[in-house]
Each structure stands twice: as structure tokens, then as C-alpha cells.
Amino acid sequence: MAFVADRLSAVKPSATIAVTQKARDLTAAGRDVISLGAGEPDFDTPAHIIEAAKKALDDGYTRYTATNGLPELQEAIVAKFKRDNGLDYTTSQIHVSCGGKPVIFNAFMATINPGDEIVIPAPYWVSYPDMAAMFGGVPVFVDCPADSGFKLTAEQLDAAITPKTKWVMLNSPSNPSGAAYTEADLKALAEVLLRHPHVWVLTDDIYEHIVYDGFEFKTIAQVEPALWERTLTMNGVSKAYCMTGWRVGFAGGPDELIKAMTKVQSQSISHTAAVSQVASIAALNGPHDFIAEHNRVFKERRDLVVSMLNQAPGLHCPTPEGAFYVYPSCEGTLGKTTEAGQKIETDEDFVTALIEAEGVAAVHGTAFGLAPHFRISSATATELLEDACARIQRFCASLR
């Protein structure tokens, strides 16, 4: 009898973490590798946030807090939802955890019974299906290809819903495609959801602030207030505030759900670190002007990468509305052979041959549920990105 629990048999380790590790291993072995696998900004946490954290330690924020964090943090989150999203929550309707990821984990643990279905538009963030599977949830994938902007349509949503549907996952701007839902897109999805009152929505808005070309971010409970009572609006400080390592994520939702998630957390991690909570208060309540400056750099890089990849034979790279990823198709390279004699049949073959030939680490689209694509994170220094894209061009041109 295996020692490891059966529930883990349906769970894969994170492919994005695996790629980053492979890049690290190759670098340690002396190879010149550019890693475009990571999903974190390359900017440092802004100084005023670090200062707030240093002061917090001196002020004695070194002890346990409530499961959902310090009252000041809950108030800062309530204010954030009101300010940025026009959403009304009370502090008892706020959940705080060690990042956006455990917020989703807690929501799933608190609500999924074996056999419950979770509608997941593909391409999706790698963790959704595996987290759902951990609790016996059944992911229902809906392919959202590039020609529909990588977005779920109302018709597709309607067709995917069954009496067993518990959650629909939305992620805008998306990891890995960078696609973002407009108000009209969300309104169309909301109309379907209004006809299916047993279905809840978990919207992962972690890239909310990272949008380009004047895109106006909206979240579904804002667009359709009647869905508020069955929506968990998830967000966090990791991406926009460059605070991935601080581990603070949060969500607003109806009392019953938040209570259930809090129960889960009270018997697991208890709460996120007090010092990180104080830093997050400084982030949410403090100046936000650095975000526009970061976005200017991200946009420059996005434009550079999209343009360079579209010049690589066999690749096609759509222009994302937000986040810091691009998700090009490598369909035009399939069936070709590398100089080392390796045949490229899948997007996984493509990224494996790419790292071997040119030392560029990217993540294959199959890991995100929509092939043949690969994901490049442009949260990497511009010179490195330029070098990486030149290597990708050379690699694609070398295929026969």
C-alpha cells in the first residue's frame, strides 16, 4: 500500500516551477541560460513598503494575528475593493491568506465535494485543475483558442454548465495568455450565470493593475451586482506591488463562504506573517504611481517580444491586453526537425529543444491546457528578453 494519499494521484507538480528549476540546474552546470519561465516581476518591492515592514518589526508585529489578519489590513482590503472595483464588502467578508494561491486552495477545500465540476477556461493558470482535483473536483476544460482572444464565450459557458457545476473560474488578465475580459465580455458571461443560480464564480484578479493600451479592468461582481452573493473576488499584492515573496493574497465574498474558508485556514496555516500584513497595508493604502511606471516598462517589453516572435518562422504571437506573459503559437514549427536531429511533434518538444539548443527556458502550452503554444514571461530585464527572442528567432530559422 502506498504511503502517499490517493488524492495526490490526480495532482501534477507545477510545470512552471519545474521549468524554472531546469533553468537553474542548467545554469549551475555552466550553461548560459535565459529563464523566461517565472511568473514574478523583476522589480523590487517599492521602498515605502519595505520601510513599513522594517518599522513593523521594531513596533513588535512579531506575533500571531487573527486568521484573516490585522483589522487594519482587512479595512485596507475593504477600501481597495471599493476604490478599485466599486465592490462593497464588510471586514467579515474578507479572507486573507499567504498569497492568492492559498486563497483558492482554501475556497476549494471549503466547498468542493467529490464529483463537483469546476469549469476552467483553457489556457488556464496551472494550479486550478490540480487544486480542484485534490478535493475530488472534476475540472471541465473549455478550449478558448487564440481566434476567440483566449476568452470564454457565453455560448461555451452555457454548454459547459451541468447540474454538478460548482465553480466557474475566471482569470483576467490571464496567466498564461494575458487576455483580459472587457465589461461587455463579462456582461455576456453574467447573463448565462444568472440563469444557473447553483453556479458560483471564482474570479482571480491578481493581474488587475497590469493592463496596457488604456484597457479598463472590470470584475464580474461589479459588472453584474446580482452575482455578488455567489462570487469570490480574489486578488493580492504579489504581482502589482512586486511582493511575491511576502505571501499575502485576499478575497471578498459572502459571509458563509468566507466563514468556511476561515475555518479551513484556522486548522492549517493560521494566518500570513504579521510583518507581511503590515507591508500589505502600506502597499494598499500607499502611493500607486510606481505601477504606471512598471506598466510602461512591461508594455515596452510586450511590444518588443510580440514583434520579435512574429518575425520567427513558424511562430504566431497575439498581443496580450495585460499581465506580463505572451502566449505564442508554435504550430508552424510542428513536424520540423532541429539541427541535432530531433523531430518537433508537440509544444513540449519545442520548448525542450529550445532550451537545449539556445538555452532559453519557456513553458509549454500543454501545461496550461491549450496547445501548441508556449508561454514567455516578460517580467525579465529588457536586454535579456531581446537576447532570448533573438535566440528563439535563430532556433526557429534553424528548423528544417
- Residue 33 or 242: the one with the smaller Cβ distance to ligand PLP is 242
| Among the listed residues 33, 170, 190, 206, the single contact to ligand PLP using CB under 6 A | 206
Cα–Cα distance list, 96 to 41, 208, 255, 346, 353 (Å) = 22, 18, 14, 40, 41
- Residue 39 or 129: the one with the smaller Cβ distance to ligand PLP is 39
Amino acid residing at 9:
S
Is beta strand 138-143 parallel, antiparallel or unpaired with respect to 117-122? parallel
Report residue 141: phi and psi, to 5°.
-85, 140
- Residue 353 or 370: the one with the smaller Cβ distance to ligand PLP is 370
Of residues 289 through 308, those in contact with ligand PLP by CB under 6 A are none
- Residue 39 or 314: the one with the smaller Cβ distance to ligand PLP is 39
Minimum distance between the CB of residue 152 and ligand PLP, rounded to whole angstroms? 15
Give yes or no for a contact between 104 and 131, defined as CB atoms under 8 angstroms apart: yes
| Among the listed residues 185, 204, 321, 358, the single contact to ligand PLP using CB under 6 A | 204
- Residue 39 or 69: the one with the smaller Cβ distance to ligand PLP is 39
Up-side HSE of residue 212: CA atoms within 13 Å toward CB?
19
Q: Interface with ligand PLP by CB under 6 A: which range of 78-86, 94-102, 136-144, 281-289?
A: 94-102
For residues 237 to 256, the per-residue mask of contacts with ligand PLP, x marking binding by CB under 6 A and - elsewhere, is: -x-----x----x-------
Q: Which residue has the cell 512574429?
A: 310
Q: Could you tell me which of 200, 260, 248 has the C-alpha nearest to residue 74? A: 248
* Binding residue count for ligand PLP, defined by CB under 6 A: 13
Q: Interface with ligand PLP by CB under 6 A: which range of 96-104, 271-279, 296-304, 368-376?
A: 96-104
- Residue 203 or 338: the one with the smaller Cβ distance to ligand PLP is 203
Give yes or no for a contact between 374 and 362, defined as CB atoms under 8 angstroms apart: yes
Of residues 221 through 240, those in contact with ligand PLP by CB under 6 A are 236, 238
d(CA 141, CA 26): 34
Per-position b or e across 327-359, b if 16+ CB within 10 A of its CB: bbbbbebbebebeeeeebeebbbbbbbbbebbb
DSSP code per residue over 116-176:
-EEEEEES--THHHHHHHHTT-EEEEEE--GGGTT---HHHHHHH--TTEEEEEEESS-TT
Is 100 among the residues that bind ligand PLP (CB under 6 A)? Answer: yes
**How many of the other CB atoms lie within 10 Å of CB of 6?**
7
- Residue 104 or 274: the one with the smaller Cβ distance to ligand PLP is 104
Which cell is 129 given?
485543475
- Residue 131 or 160: the one with the smaller Cβ distance to ligand PLP is 131
Is 99 among the residues that bind ligand PLP (CB under 6 A)? Answer: yes
**Residue 280: strand, helix, or coil:** helix
Of residues 174 through 203, those in contact with ligand PLP by CB under 6 A are 175
| Among the listed residues 20, 35, 74, 171, the single contact to ligand PLP using CB under 6 A | 171
| Among the listed residues 37, 39, 123, 365, the single contact to ligand PLP using CB under 6 A | 39
Is 69 among the residues that bind ligand PLP (CB under 6 A)? Answer: no
Cα–Cα distance list, 87 to 12, 223, 254, 271 (Å) = 35, 10, 12, 24
Q: Interface with ligand PLP by CB under 6 A: which range of 17-25, 99-107, 252-260, 378-386?
A: 99-107
Is 121 among the residues that bind ligand PLP (CB under 6 A)? Answer: no
Q: Which residue has the cell 516581476?
A: 41
- Residue 276 or 333: the one with the smaller Cβ distance to ligand PLP is 276
**How many of the other CB atoms lie within 10 Å of CB of 184?**
10
| Among the listed residues 80, 95, 101, 302, the single contact to ligand PLP using CB under 6 A | 101
- Residue 205 or 358: the one with the smaller Cβ distance to ligand PLP is 205
Is 109 among the residues that bind ligand PLP (CB under 6 A)? Answer: no
**How many of the other CB atoms lie within 10 Å of CB of 147?**
7
Minimum distance between the CB of residue 314 and ligand PLP, rounded to whole angstroms? 27
Positions touching ligand PLP (CB under 6 A) are 39, 99-101, 125, 171, 175, 204, 206, 236, 238, 244, 249
